[in-house]
Structure 1
Amino acid sequence: MNASFGAFCKVVRAKSIHSSFLKHMFQSPQYFSYIQNVVNGSNINNIKNEHINNFKIPVPSLKDQKKIAQILDDAAVLRNKTEQLIKEYDALAQSIFLDMFGDPVFNKFNFQKGIIRDLVKEAKYGTSEKASEEGQYPYLRMNNLTYEGYMDYSSMKYVNIPDKDLHKYLVEKGDLLFNRTNSKELVGKTAIFDSAEPMVIAGYLIRVRFNEKANPFFVKAYLNSKYGKLVLRNMCKSIVGMANINAQELQNILILHPPIELQNKFAERIALIEQQKELAKKELIECEDLFNCLLQKAFKGEFV
């Protein structure tokens, strides 16, 4: 197949080196470290031809290059399969939601309808205290919620909160967190806080606790469904590049009111999926560690 490439791309045709081996060299930590040291640009970093041409790599025999490339390819396949498995678990959770509750647009099971406010015990904003590298409590911000609806604790800041105000901002395991301010594409990110460690939420998040009529995992799945994402995208207000959905607007969203027993059954099924997904995540970390270790050895010429 013939193809063209844009001005911001460079084609490297390998002659005396195996193309797959070269591909992996361009994926190595050494390559990215080298590029970070040589690129320049005020808004867009530019890599020049000479930057690529001057990048030094080990060049074993062609036979060894093919052998190394095959091992790295196999490790990459294993990693990619594990990533795909995690995506399939997410798809399974969405499928279970549709099987049990149907598409909210059509409400084929004729559930009662209402608004989220009918299910809410309390909805509180987080604190506006400035985040820092050190502090008494881990500080949850909008980047700690993923678009897919999960918590991400990989990049944490910290904050100090007076004891008298702590109850306002402290989150408990099972609380629903809603990202009220973000870009139009990301506003409305919704996740369930799943840690036993005491943490505090920032002002761009809303902490929602529900009454006996709702299971938070059902509401989370509802807001993260295709229907829910569309509703959130259409209702947010944009102000200087940022979009906002406040606590009152969140609680006014129309929602199905299935029996709590059915919601609880759904949450139990999701918990089983999450258990398997956590095992897959641990396996993915092992796959990534293996791939990176092999890549390091290949770059250092220790892999022959």
Structure 2
Amino acid sequence: MRSNNIKKASIDLDDLVYVKANKVNKKQFLLKGDILITASTGSIKIIGKNAFCEENINASFGAFCKVVRAKNVHSSYLKHLFQSPQYFSYIQNVVNGSNINNIKNEHINNFKIPLPSPEIQNKIAQILDDAAALRNKTELLIKEYDVLAQSIFLDMFGDPVTNKFRFPKGTIRDLVKEAKYGTSEKAGDEGQYQYLRMNNLTYAGYMDYSSMKYVNIPDKDLHKYLVEKGDLLFNRTNSKDLVGKTSIFDSSEPMVIAGYLIRVRFNQKANPFFVRAYLNSKYGKLVLRNMCKSIVGMANINAQELQNIMILHPPIELQNQFAEKIALIEKQKELAKQELKESEDLFNCLLQKAFKGELV
């Protein structure tokens, strides 16, 4: 197990590497109740992230990780304390290193936690487990809405590879009214306009406004970079795996795009929601990835190459029907996201009380 196998407080068994069994000490196998921690990394944001082992795992862990094994404390109680803001704040304060941040054994040993009786620990763990289950259920619902959207696309347009509905084919260029690059102006923490960068587009095809920068743009140039609700945004430069991220701008706030993004507006032949779904489909992702096969390091797909991509040309009426169905799904997703926020707030509130010894 490596740091990349620690995801959202759980163990991810994808992308594993292997070593010979005789090279691993028995004590280094992961056991039920263990907490696997990222203990050495160049990123201050990643240091200390951890995951709880729900069962014995026939796996060990790499040199950049550590394991905390509970002793004289309920393991489920401990796992929640290691997800608390107090834990992450503590880790941020004690790690050091000009390039690599390291968690030493003494750092873990000196982390102070409330230690009620085993009975109280068990009660606290159960309350937090129930709250976490509620949060996780809502997260799963949001993911299911995304799966539903993909299913509707396939039902209405079929697999682009087989094109079972015999839609005419053409290029994205046939559907485009304009495709414009963003600005290269330097962004900062202050400025006149919010500044959309590559990290504001998610791999799944949605907008993420959680981390924003700002920029000043002269009025005479504003029309070149300002985005409008319904504009399709395409990430033209990124890693090979992430280049081609495609989202639709869905805010009413005035924002401008960075130079790594392309703003696309369509003619009367296309609905942007159809094009987004097409490029975010398994087929679309494969096409984008294959376009970057020979590129080392940062990959690039420019505006001309984007417009040269072949795409189905279904009737605009059908595209509009698809967009209406997606809008209904998005409305339900927003309700689920609000429910998720409430469940996360509840969980964090309970976690704070647990750390202060006020929960039971």
TM-score range, shorter chain: over 0.9
- Which of residues 319, 333, 336 in structure 2 aligns to 1:263? 319
State the Cα distance separating 1:101 from its structure 2 match.
0.3
Unaligned segments of structure 2, at least 5 residues: 1-55
Task: Report the counterpart of residue 114 of structure 2 in structure 1.
Answer: 58
Q: Is the contact between residue 237 and residue 245 of structure 1 (CA under 8 Å) also seen in structure 2?
A: no
Task: Report the counterpart of residue 178 of structure 1 in structure 2.
Answer: 234
d(CA) in 2 for partners of 1:10, 1:180: 38
State the Cα distance separating 1:51 from its structure 2 match.
1.2
State the Cα distance separating 1:44 from its structure 2 match.
3.4
Task: Report the counterpart of residue 145 of structure 1 in structure 2.
Answer: 201
State the Cα distance separating 1:48 from its structure 2 match.
1.4
Instruction: Say if 2:204 is the partner of 1:109.
Output: no
Instruction: Say if 2:302 is the partner of 1:254.
Output: no
Higher mean C-alpha displacement, 251-260 vs 22-31: 22-31
How far does the alpha carbon of each residue in 1:203-256 deviate from its partner, in whole angstroms, 9 at most, with x for none?
111000000000000000000000000100110376662110000000000000
**What is the identity, as a one-letter code, of the residue corresponding to 1:73?**
D
Instruction: Say if 2:210 is the partner of 1:154.
Output: yes
Q: Secondary structure at the match of 1:297?
A: helix
Instruction: Say if 2:254 is the partner of 1:198.
Output: yes
Task: Report the counterpart of residue 60 of structure 2 in structure 1.
Answer: 5
Q: Secondary structure at the match of 1:110?
A: coil
Q: Secondary structure at the match of 1:255?
A: strand
Task: Report the counterpart of residue 207 of structure 1 in structure 2.
Answer: 263
d(CA) in 1 for partners of 2:294, 2:244: 13
Q: Secondary structure at the match of 1:121?
A: strand
- Which of residues 61, 70, 92 in structure 2 aligns to 1:36? 92
Unaligned segments of structure 1, at least 5 residues: none
**What is the identity, as a one-letter code, of the residue corresponding to 1:51?**
H
How far does the alpha carbon of each residue in 1:53-90 deviate from its partner, in whole angstroms, 9 at most, with x for none?
11110001111111100000000000111110000000
Q: Which has the higher helix share?
A: 1
- Which of residues 131, 139, 150 in structure 1 aligns to 2:187? 131
TM-score normalised by length of structure 2: 0.82
How far does the alpha carbon of each residue in 1:84-115 deviate from its partner, in whole angstroms, 9 at most, with x for none?
00000000000000000000000000000000
- Which of residues 320, 336, 345 in structure 2 aligns to 1:280? 336
**What is the identity, as a one-letter code, of the residue corresponding to 1:297?**
K
d(CA) in 2 for partners of 1:267, 1:15: 55
Task: Report the counterpart of residue 45 of structure 1 in structure 2.
Answer: 101
State the Cα distance separating 1:133 from its structure 2 match.
1.2
- Which of residues 96, 118, 121 in structure 1 aligns to 2:152? 96
d(CA) in 2 for partners of 1:39, 1:263: 53
State the Cα distance separating 1:14 from its structure 2 match.
2.4
Q: Secondary structure at the match of 1:10?
A: strand
Q: Secondary structure at the match of 1:283?
A: helix
- Which of residues 177, 183, 186 in structure 2 aligns to 1:121? 177
Q: Is the contact between residue 237 and residue 244 of structure 1 (CA under 8 Å) also seen in structure 2?
A: no
Alignment of 1:283-294 (within 5 A): 283-294=339-350
How far does the alpha carbon of each residue in 1:159-214 deviate from its partner, in whole angstroms, 9 at most, with x for none?
11111111111111100000001111111000001111111111111000000000
d(CA) in 1 for partners of 2:342, 2:327: 23
Identity of aligned residues (%): 87
State the Cα distance separating 1:28 from its structure 2 match.
0.8
Q: Is the contact between residue 184 and residue 238 of structure 1 (CA under 8 Å) also seen in structure 2?
A: no
d(CA) in 2 for partners of 1:220, 1:254: 14
